[in-house]
């Protein structure tokens, strides 16, 4: 069976934690080590095997549209209303199709194995409706607070634990139709899939940094520099 190769990047948030940098620049276009977060995420997506990519926009979205001009990346416009991750994914379904979709948050930086490639390799369509890339709290640079999930021996996930959601996953989208609200988080869908025993996790074997605040930028840059020295 063909592994998922359609991917959505969530680039519509207001980036309030990144203020004042996001007063004039959308968070995905903030540079880290000389390259925008959006371009870094696109590199990870393409290198990991994504073939069709959709990016949603809201805050200062015209800048993102201009940045993507000439690329093959499709844009899902949320300029009228910020729909959060669940609502944003549902609005983009006409661009994404009906197969399971890879989603990514662009405001994180990865080193080590490509998370998209790892998710695609681990995806089991017969068992899974969601497969989340998780990071141990102790290796989650820039993270404030504890973990999000625990993972069982069979790979199924449950709420509460010492693993952080890394901002990348593969997920089926058909049950989005069961949620009545227009604006909602993907947490709603995860809870449904966890209850049915259809939500799984895989642990990232490299390093990871949340780039949600200005003070996280030097953390991410130091992590990337160290990875370059190690790889070199």
Whether 47 and 116 have beta carbons less than 8 Å apart is answered as yes
Token pair for 157: 């996930």
59-108, pLDDT tens digit by residue?
A: 999 999 999 999 999 999 999 999 999 999 999 999 999 999 999 999 99
pLDDT of res. 120: 98
pLDDT of res. 231: 66
Domain range list for the chain: 6-231
pLDDT of res. 118: 98
23-37, pLDDT tens digit by residue?
A: 999 999 999 999 999
Q: Terminal CA-to-CA distance of the chain, rounded, Å?
A: 36
Look up the pTM and report it.
Answer: 0.95
pLDDT of res. 228: 82
If we measure between CA atoms, which residue out of 162, 164, 115 comes closest to residue 143?
164
Residue 167, Ramachandran bin (φ over 0: left; ψ between -120 and 50: alpha; else beta): left
pLDDT of res. 176: 97
Question: How many percent of the chain have pLDDT more than 70?
Answer: 99
Domain 6-231 fold: Spore Coat Polysaccharide Biosynthesis Protein SpsA; Chain A (3.90.550)
pLDDT of res. 166: 97
pLDDT of res. 95: 97
Which residues of the chain, if any, have pLDDT below 50? none
């Amino acid at each position: 069976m063909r592994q998922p190769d359609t991917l959505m990047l969530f680039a519509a948030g207001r980036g309030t934690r990144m203020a004042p940098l996001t007063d004039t620049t959308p968070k995905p276009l903030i540079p880290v080590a000389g390259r925008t977060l959006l371009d870094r995420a696109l590199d990870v997506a393409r290198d990991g095997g994504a073939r069709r990519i959709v990016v949603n926009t809201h805050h200062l979205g015209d800048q993102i549209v201009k940045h993507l001009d000439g690329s093959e990346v499709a844009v899902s416009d949320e300029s009228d209303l910020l729909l959060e991750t669940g609502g944003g994914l549902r609005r983009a379904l006409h661009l994404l199709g009906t197969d399971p979709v890879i989603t990514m948050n662009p405001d994180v930086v990865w080193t080590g194995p490509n998370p998209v490639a790892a998710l695609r390799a681990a995806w089991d369509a017969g068992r899974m409706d969601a497969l989340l890339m998780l990071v141990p709290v102790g290796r989650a640079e820039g993270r404030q607070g504890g973990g999000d999930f625990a993972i069982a021996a069979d790979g199924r996930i449950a709420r509460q634990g010492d693993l952080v959601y890394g901002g990348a996953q593969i997920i089926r989208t058909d049950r989005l139709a069961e949620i009545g609200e227009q604006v909602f988080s993907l947490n709603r869908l995860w809870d449904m899939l966890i209850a049915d025993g259809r939500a799984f996790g895989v642990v990232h074997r490299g390093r990871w940094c949340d780039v949600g605040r200005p003070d996280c930028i030097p953390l991410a840059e130091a992590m990337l520099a160290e990875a370059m020295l190690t790889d070199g």
